[in-house]
Amino acid sequence: MSRTTHHTKIGSPFLGLFLFSFFWFLASDARSEITGVVLDSESEMPVVGARVRIQSTTGEPVITDASGHFIISANFSETVKVTAGWNYQRGEPNQYLSGGAIASPTQSDIQIHLKRVPDSSNPTYEPIKAAPPNGCADCHAEYFNEWGTSGHALAAEDYWVRDLFSGDGSPGGANGYVFKDVHPGETGFCASCHTPVAEAHSPGEVMLDEVESISALEGVNCSACHQIDSVNHATQEIHLVGNATMRFPRSGNPLLEPTHFYVWGPLDDVDYPFMRASYTPIYSDSRYCATCHEYENPETGAPGQQTYSEWLASPFAIPGPGFKSCQECHMPKRKENGSICDPPDAFETETVNRPASQRSNHSFVGSTLETLRSNLALEAFASIQGSTLEVFANLSNFGAGHAFPTGVSIRNAILVVSASVDGVPLIQTGGPTIPFWADDDVDGKQQGDLAGKPGKGYAKVLEGRLPGDEEYSKPVLFIDAERVFSNTLIPSGVSDRTKYSFAFGGGVSAESIEISIRLLYRRAYRALAVTKGWTETPMGDPVEWEVFNYRLDLDTRRHSLWRLH
């Protein structure tokens, strides 16, 4: 058997391809790791446990070891910024700002020096405003414009709140209940959540109607959120009064590093010359929102808002694929990549192109007709049993991560059920009726008064004795509440099924029966809105929304009931 030997000549295409592949492999392998160390900028000692990543990348960071070193596996061919962040915990000996260093394909063993958060505080600091010029909007215009459409931006000058607190929010604001008349000299803690920066140095001591500074009148502005450095687990406490803290560091060079540069947030890789950013994961935690959306009467323990507790009890709080925090629903991620900062050209600083998952919407969308119809479902059917017409309704809170309705206790919803023949109502013989709080306080029945009609009310009704009274009043605001009179809110993931019976006389055909089922959402109790003269919300929406309006055909079931008929 003969053997044929093949010889490859120098310069053949096979050898060229082999050499190219070999050197490409070596080159790519040389760029596959970034090594370095994170050091304390003052002591030059290693920072253990720092979170290291290539800036704007997603996924879990690399954590520095006991000697402050790190190794990042990466394949890159251009210069990148490697950042280090520190999980800020209030009260620990050393707290670090995020920082970074440039790494090129030919570099290794880079050093990242982290500055400490100054121990000294600025006792006279007034949190910076959001509006331009010289406000947060100068560099964060996109977020500012979104925030400007939110209820947070109106919180300090919400005329409903002013009507309830001092009676001077609207022309009819002095009518009916006014907190300052009932509790002279007390703050009611209203400013604590409606204008937090006004209370930065004196939590719980500010009168809402005496706030004057530009930043404070912006309500819950950028400073009010991003200069919060800690949130504890005392969620029943009221914001800065006992649940959250703000921090205002004073550097050794306040001209170059003014106090408003120091901020906190959910990204661990912010390294920008005009900010001094610290990372804390609380900003991605629903407990952060609880500082203003969960509290109780500090004297009686009666609940105010319980939105956080409602979320904790919801399916969305269970770890796993269905988990959703408050932020994921109310600050949804954008669909496109982009920056979170747009500095003026004079800074000559490039912005970081971030993935959509690191860019949150700041309009804080809450209850709208769209969100209500997207997260609630109403099913109904009817049948005749002998001389009785039976109507069944099933209202489901399948999509909201909290109860329906949620928030302040004046919010309520009403299911209105009616059955008639030729416009003449049938007499109700069984089932729930709409409670007293669905009417106004004007004598007689007015249009919009629904108490006593077939249906059901959904609300958390608080009761308490006002100063000088022996009898309980209801409903009252949380600040006057001693206990819960009734709670018919629908928890997240729960359906409420009700049955209504009507007398059905002989000689009436089923085809002549008209059945109507409506769901109304009211932003305030009707008596309160009528007394104060409120015809719309501070956001310009109607006080009452008709969420569903359904005409039911006998012996049929329809599922797409969010469509108005």
Considering only CA atoms, give the Rg of the chain: 31
Tokens 């063993």 locate to: 109
Lowest mean pLDDT, pick from 71-85, 208-222, 240-254, 259-273: 71-85
Q: How confident is the model at residue 108 (pLDDT cuts 50, 70, 90)?
A: confident
The pLDDT value recorded for residue 348 is 53
Backbone φ and ψ of 530, nearest 5°? -70, -45
| Local confidence band at 274 (pLDDT 50, 70, 90 cut-offs) | confident
The DSSP bridge partners found for residue 69 are: 37
List, by residue range, all CATH 2.60.40.1120 domains of the chain.
29-114
Q: What is the reported pLDDT for 556? A: 43
Is there a contact between 418 and 427 (Cβ–Cβ < 8 Å)? no
Number of C-beta neighbours around residue 326 at 10 A:
22
Cβ atoms < 10 Å from Cβ of 323: 12
Is residue 497 within 8 A of residue 522, CB to CB? The reply is no
Res. 307 pLDDT band, cuts 50 70 90: very high
Reply yes or no on whether the pLDDT at 559 is more than 60: no
Instruction: Provide the pLDDT for residue 25.
Output: 42
Instruction: Specify the pairing of strand 455-458 against strand 460-463.
Output: unpaired
Amino acid at 451: A
Cβ neighbours of residue 191 closer than 8 Å, sequence gap 6 or more? 198, 199, 206, 207, 208, 211
Distance (Å, whole) CA 311 – CA 307? 6
Query: Residue 19: pLDDT band by 50, 70, 90 thresholds?
Result: very low
Cα 533 from Cα 177, distance rounded (Å): 13
SS (H, E, C) 365-385: CCCCHHHHHHHEEEEEEEEEE
Dihedrals phi, psi of 499, to nearest 5 degrees: -130, 135
Residue 350: per-residue pLDDT: 64
- Of residues 78 and 340, the one with the higher pLDDT is 340
* Cβ atoms of residues 238 and 298 within 8 Å: yes
Enclosing H/E stretch for 395: strand 388-397
Is residue 22 pLDDT above 50, yes or no?
A: no
SS3 228: strand
Q: How many CB atoms lie within 10 A of CB 403?
A: 24
Across 21-30, 98-107, 108-117, the highest mean pLDDT is recorded for 108-117
CA-wise closest residue to 177 among 470, 474, 448, 434: 474
pLDDT score of 512: 84
- Tell whether the model's pLDDT for residue 558 goes beyond 80: no
**Taking 80 as the threshold, does the pLDDT of residue 475 lie above it?**
yes
Alpha-helical (H) ranges within 77-235 are 141-147, 151-154, 159-165, 179-182, 190-194, 222-226
Largest separation between any pair of C-alpha atoms in the chain? 119
Block residue for tokens 């900010």: 275
Query: Which pLDDT belongs to residue 505?
Result: 76
Give the residue among 522, 531, 518 at the shortest CA–CA distance from 440: 531
Confidence band of 3 (pLDDT split at 50, 70, 90): very low
Percent of the residues in the chain that have a pLDDT greater than 90, as a whole number: 83
Contact 83, 57 (CB under 8 A): no
User: When comparing pLDDT for 265 and 273, which is higher?
Assistant: 265
Asked if residue 539 lies in contact with residue 154, where contact means CB atoms within 8 angstroms, the answer is yes
Does 262 have pLDDT greater than 80?
yes
Q: What does the pLDDT look like over 491-506, one tens digit per residue?
A: 999 999 999 999 987 7
pLDDT of residue 518: 97
User: Residue 548 contacts by C-beta under 8 Å, 6 or more apart in sequence?
Assistant: 373, 376, 378, 517, 518, 519, 561, 562, 564
Calculate ∠ Cα 74-75-76, nearest 5°: 110
- pLDDT for 557: 40
Averaged pLDDT for residues 262-287: 96
Distance CA 151, CA 148 (A): 8
pLDDT for the residue numbered 349:
61
Report the candidate in 419, 496, 484, 495 with the shortest Cα–Cα distance to residue 456.
496
Q: What is the CATH number of domain 29-114?
A: 2.60.40.1120
The DSSP symbol for 115 reads P
CB 402 within 8 A of CB 375: no
The CA distance from 443 to 307, in Å, is 35
Stretch 233-237: mean pLDDT: 97
pLDDT reading at 4 higher than 90: no
DSSP string, 436-491: GGGS-SSSS--TT--TTSBEEEE-EEEEBPPTT-SS-BSS--GGG-SEEEEE--B-
Six token digits for residue 433: 């009726």
pLDDT score recorded for residue 28 = 45
Please determine, for residue 347, whether its predicted confidence score (pLDDT) is greater than 80. Answer: no
Overall pTM surpassing 0.85 (yes/no): yes
